[in-house]
Amino acid sequence: MERDRVYMEVALAEAHAAAVRGEVPVGAVLVDDLGNILAQDGNRVIERCDPAGHAEMVVLREAALRQANYRLPGTTLFVTLEPCAMCAGAMIHARIARLVYGAADPKSGAVHSLMQLGDDRRLNHRFVADGGVLAEACGGLLRDFFRQRRDGQSL
């Protein structure tokens, strides 16, 4: 879907900005049901000394503050990497409607790869999840970042 690609490009720009800050390059964008961007940002784990400073968490927090509501129904979260269990759990609590992610995360992805938290019938909320949007660009950014880190380079 073309709309998904447009918002994933915004998330990719946030991931690039995170890399420049020395963060793992993951970006996220939360969009309401009318297509308005409620929040966008990248990882801020290192900058904020916050183990929960993943792009998804930062964006969900910001949008909740702006909306004056911790529930964000009808929203779609676009993120460049398949979310971990912490982030998927936050999406459930926030009641997002849909997740769109770029690259799969075979080591800690909790939406399709290792677990399917967004579709677990034992939980009180489920969300639709679509992966693979601009997957090569999203995964390539991460691969380049970690290769440069191993080689002692910076972006």
Task: Give yes or no for a contact between 96 and 112, defined as CB atoms under 8 angstroms apart.
Answer: no
The per-residue DSSP string of 28-82 comes to EEEE-TTS-EEEEEE--TTTTT-TT--HHHHHHHHHHHHHT-S--TT-EEEEEE-
- Cα–Cα distance between 41 and 55 in angstroms, integer? 6
* Angle, alpha carbons 83-88-93 (nearest 5°): 155
Of the candidates 97, 117, 94, the residue with the CA atom closest to the CA atom of residue 105:
117
- Residue 56 annotated in active site: yes
In the set 2, 9, 23, 56, the catalytic residue is 56
**Can you tell me whether residue 101 is helix, strand or coil?**
strand
* Angle, alpha carbons 116-24-106 (nearest 5°): 30
Which residues are marked as active site?
56
